Structure 1
Amino acid sequence: MRALLVVNPVATTTSARTRDVLTHALASDLELEVAATDYRGHARELAREAAERGSADVVIALGGDGTVNEVVNGLLHHGPDTGHLPRLAVVPGGSTNVFARALGLPNDAVEATGALLDALHAGSERAVGLGLATGTPGSADEQVPRRWFTFNAGLGFDAGVVGRVESQRERGKRSTHALYVRQALRQFLGDPHRTHGSIELLRPGHEPVAGLALAIVCNTAPWTFLGNRPMYAAPRASFDTGLDLLGLTRLSSAAVTRYATQLLRSSPERGPRGKHVVALHDEADFTLQSQAPQPFQLDGDHLGLRTSVTFTGVRRALRVIV
């Protein structure tokens, strides 16, 4: 089997020695081509070329969720899988690895490589649904390129936290859960929209819902992890359904304390709840818009400010080795 291994050489939790060991293990069973990424967006280019040339049966992403997202967007550059695209495989190397863990893969890169080889020998794979974010027609963001996401997207508060973390990482800080907690506190103290949200939810055939201070779009559960603790913003979200949404209309000190506690205690059966919660399940498409530009993130990648984003759930978009 022909495989392209896309390696992020600065992945958070893998060393050069570990990556060499994993590469040799994969090369013993596969006709393996290895490509290391040199810049942001490089993994996307490599995966796109492999799909267009038909040079690989499987593309393996060795890195964190950002690397996986780029590979997915490269594979799906021309649209959802029609049965001819390379399959996706993941070896987790980031600090959180939400997509890999949501698929049930081990969070350790060595163990995940063993599981991947077992799955390849058994021919085990599944088709997963993905989310697609596009600029809304008629909005200032109409021409923004569309982008696929694997596990979550956010407009507003949580995207602002992601942006702050990225800024700290560019200054040399390590990506740790403590860093996220500190930046969440700073975002809370500095967010001018947290008590009077400016995000509006639009759905075909429904009345608009205004005043959201935070909007999290989930394609699977859990939403994220705090260390080894899974956190469920939308417990019913699944790779086999459409998109789920958690919106909050108020982020006062009391509300944040309450909902943060609920997230820490969340489970596959129960997520955040209360009078300031807006929750949707298995939605095909909807739009989030704001008069004031809001921070925007996909799969933990901060993409700047947006005033309007349309989200679409695409079922069976890509085949994944599991």
Structure 2
Amino acid sequence: MSIWKRAEAILKEREVSYEARFTEYTGHAKKLAEQIANLSRPCTLGVLGGDGTLNEVINGLAETDFSHITLGYLPTGSGNDFARALNLSCDVEKCMDAILSPSQCTAVDIGLARTQESSRYFLVSSGIGYDADICRKVMVSPLKKAMNKIHLGKLTYVLIALKLLILYKACPVSVRMDKKETASLSKFFFITGMNMPYEGGGVKFCPKADFQDNLLDICMVGNLSKLKILALFPTAFVGKHGRFQGVTLTSCKRIDISSKSPLPIHCDGESLGVADHLTLQSAGKQINVILK
């Protein structure tokens, strides 16, 4: 039985009044979330999907008055970094119990990524460079679907990361945090701004990230060899990569990144295209999320 059918069976068994909407194309979840928010009546918005689906939903809500919306989440993705950070269960019955009879909720910060041409909100993270290139390749890789079927979806990120590392060409960037002094990285690999500790299916890039502090935690990697990047990977899964020279962990409200050439950008693993300038910042907004 599909996850939705199991969730729907619980709703019917408990005689809960509900409306179900199904996404039909990329961007549809954003449109549906905006329509629901514009109804302007208190409701619980239950989302079944992965971090990418959740990203579309938050982009549908963020430009509206969504104070009447409480977010419930049934994680079904291969990465599930949002659920991991909030310690949300992946068990359908436990999720439905929480959504239908919540005993604890929490406010979660929303981040904002902006380029010269577009902008996008995020809940987990947004990054530029090597990690965004991994996300971009994972999204179109047939390997992801195949690995998901055998419950090894996380390995897709690792395999593609190793392949891209061989081909990746580092380029110079300049970085400015909170409109203060500008720093330069002559051999840049990636920068990620994070609300949550994890991205990419459990990589703990920002171990101290706090989703309620109205700050972005930053992981900046540059000026080191590919061999050291390779050695860094295993330690990043447990948040110990900060000991490597060339890795900077810090926090700020805003970071401006300018590169010599256009680089790939992601928001919660979803592509924001390529650009030579990116601003990441706290959006100053929070969404109320059911924990249990």
TM-score by length of 2: 0.88
Residue matched to 1:234:
206
Residue matched to 1:131:
111
Secondary structure of the residue that 1:307 maps to in structure 2? strand
Q: CA separation in 2, counterparts of 1:239 and 1:172?
A: 30
Aligned ranges 1:260-275 → 2 under 5 Å = 260-266=233-239, 270-275=240-245
Identity %: 25
Q: 1:109 to 1:101 in 2, by over 3 A?
A: farther
Deviation at 1:72, TM superposition (A): 1.0
Judge conservation of contact 1:128–1:317 (CA < 8 Å) in 2: yes
Deviation at 1:259, TM superposition (A): 1.2
Which ranges of structure 1 fall in alignment gaps of 5 or more residues?
1-14, 136-141
Secondary structure of the residue that 2:283 maps to in structure 1? strand
1:217 maps to which of 193, 211, 214: 193
Deviations 1:243-296 (A, max 9, x none): 011111135232113311321343xxx542222112212x11111121211111
Residue matched to 2:87:
104
Aligned ranges 1:35-184 → 2 under 5 Å = 35-54=21-40, 57-78=43-64, 81=66, 83=67, 85-119=68-102, 122=103, 124-135=104-115, 142-144=116-118, 146-169=119-142, 173-175=146-148, 176-184=153-161
Q: Which amino acid aligns with 1:198?
A: P
Deviations 1:130-159 (A, max 9, x none): 211112xxxxxx231x21111111100011
Q: CA separation in 2, counterparts of 1:62 and 1:308?
A: 33
Deviation at 1:299, TM superposition (A): 0.6
**Count of residues in Structure 1 that have an aligned counterpart in Structure 2:** 283
Q: Which amino acid aligns with 1:210?
A: L
Deviation at 1:171, TM superposition (A): 9.2
Q: 1:245 to 1:207 in 2, by over 3 A?
A: same
Q: 1:170 to 1:50 in 2, by over 3 A?
A: farther
Deviations 1:38-58 (A, max 9, x none): 000000000000111225512
Q: 1:60 to 1:251 in 2, by over 3 A?
A: farther
Judge conservation of contact 1:93–1:109 (CA < 8 Å) in 2: no
Deviation at 1:69, TM superposition (A): 0.8
Residue matched to 1:200:
174
Secondary structure of the residue that 2:208 maps to in structure 1? coil
Q: Which amino acid aligns with 2:139?
A: E
Secondary structure of the residue that 2:141 maps to in structure 1? helix
Q: CA separation in 2, counterparts of 1:254 and 1:171?
A: 26
Judge conservation of contact 2:70–2:288 (CA < 8 Å) in 1: yes
Q: CA separation in 1, counterparts of 2:219 and 2:15?
A: 43
Deviations 1:97-126 (A, max 9, x none): 11122112112333322333331xx3x322
Which ranges of structure 2 fall in alignment gaps of 5 or more residues?
none
Judge conservation of contact 1:235–1:271 (CA < 8 Å) in 2: no
**Range moving further from structure 2, 24-33 or 169-178:** 169-178
Q: 1:117 to 1:249 in 2, by over 3 A?
A: same
Q: Which amino acid aligns with 1:182?
A: L
Q: Which amino acid aligns with 1:280?
A: T
CA RMSD of aligned residues (A): 2.2
The one of the two structures with greater contact order (alpha-carbon pairs below 8 A, sep at least 6) is 2
Q: Which amino acid aligns with 2:212?
A: D
2:261 maps to which of 277, 281, 292: 292
